[in-house]
């Protein structure tokens, strides 16, 4: 999955475990994408039918957050404002707000989730410990409960679920 994100540069729906309830899926119902393309924010907002000014959140493993963000402390619920450290805004422009901040979500690698494993592998390939993360759901509705619902939505070419990659070969 990390190789696909790194080489293709496309957003991917990631579904892990059971669907969660609540305001955020915390990495288990996500659309992940490389943060290195400045156009990715607009692309994700179009996919989600959101206004173009809406920011996209970065997701990062907790041990790497402080090298990219200040303060870069643990923030699994995206509650605090983090500033990008010098040089990082140019490397991950898709997640930078107009004021130079980001609404960071950290994931503890000990949780051993699919998103944690993808982040770790992506950093090994790219040198970038951050991906874009937005919820995998219809605009204003609940998270995709399964692969079939994400495929029916059709917003991404690829869906990663429980170690399996599902790829649509043609656009619907």
pLDDT per position as a tens digit, 14-69? 998 776 665 455 668 899 999 999 999 999 999 999 998 889 999 999 999 999 99
Q: The domain containing residue 47 runs over which residues? A: 2-167
Q: Which two tokens stand for residue 61?
A: 């493993």
Instruction: Please check whether residue 130 lies inside any domain of the structure.
Output: yes
pLDDT per position as a tens digit, 139-157? 777 789 899 999 999 999 9
Per the model's pLDDT, the better-predicted residue between 163 and 140 turns out to be: 163
Give the count of domains, the chain.
Answer: 1
pLDDT of residue 141: 74
- What is the percent of the chain where pLDDT is above 90? 75
pLDDT per position as a tens digit, 77-118? 999 999 999 999 999 999 999 899 999 999 999 988 889 999
Confidence of residue 10 (pLDDT cuts 50, 70, 90): very high
Beta bridge partners of 159: 13, 166
Q: Which two tokens stand for residue 62?
A: 């907790």
Closest CA to 58 of 97, 87, 20: 97
User: Can you give the three-state secondary structure of 19-52, one letter per residue?
Assistant: CCCCCCCCCCEEEEEECCCCCHHHHHHHHCCCCC
* CA-CA-CA-CA dihedral for 15, 16, 22, 26, to nearest 10: -100
Instruction: Please check whether residue 9 lies inside any domain of the structure.
Output: yes
Task: Return the CATH number at 88.
Answer: 3.90.870.20
Instruction: Please check whether residue 18 lies inside any domain of the structure.
Output: yes
Confidence of residue 170 (pLDDT cuts 50, 70, 90): low
Distance separating alpha carbons of residues 104 and 169, to the nearest angstrom:
33
Distance separating alpha carbons of residues 47 and 7, to the nearest angstrom:
20
Pairing of strands 82-84, 164-167: unpaired
Instruction: Please check whether residue 73 lies inside any domain of the structure.
Output: yes
pLDDT of residue 24: 54
pLDDT of residue 19: 66
pLDDT of residue 171: 57
pTM of the predicted model as reported, rounded to 2 decimal places: 0.93
Instruction: Please check whether residue 52 lies inside any domain of the structure.
Output: yes
Instruction: Please check whether residue 95 lies inside any domain of the structure.
Output: yes
Instruction: Please check whether residue 16 lies inside any domain of the structure.
Output: yes
Distance separating alpha carbons of residues 13 and 135, to the nearest angstrom:
9
Instruction: Please check whether residue 172 lies inside any domain of the structure.
Output: no
């Amino acid at each position: 999955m990390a190789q696909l994100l790194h080489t293709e540069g496309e957003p991917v729906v990631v579904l892990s475990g059971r669907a969660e309830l609540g305001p955020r899926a915390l990495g288990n119902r996500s659309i992940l994408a490389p943060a290195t393309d400045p156009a990715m924010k607009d692309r994700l907002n179009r996919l989600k039918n959101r206004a173009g000014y809406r920011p996209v959140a970065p997701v990062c493993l907790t041990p790497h957050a402080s090298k990219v963000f200040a303060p870069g402390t643990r923030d699994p619920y995206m509650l605090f404002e983090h500033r990008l450290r010098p040089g990082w805004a140019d490397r991950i422009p898709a997640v930078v707000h107009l004021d130079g901040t980001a609404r960071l979500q950290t994931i503890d690698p000990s949780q051993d989730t699919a998103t944690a494993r993808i982040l770790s592998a992506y950093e090994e390939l790219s040198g970038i410990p951050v991906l874009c993360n937005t919820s995998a759901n219809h605009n204003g509705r609940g998270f995709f409960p399964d692969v079939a619902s994400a495929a029916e939505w059709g917003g991404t070419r690829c869906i990663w679920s429980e170690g399996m990659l599902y790829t649509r070969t043609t656009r619907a």
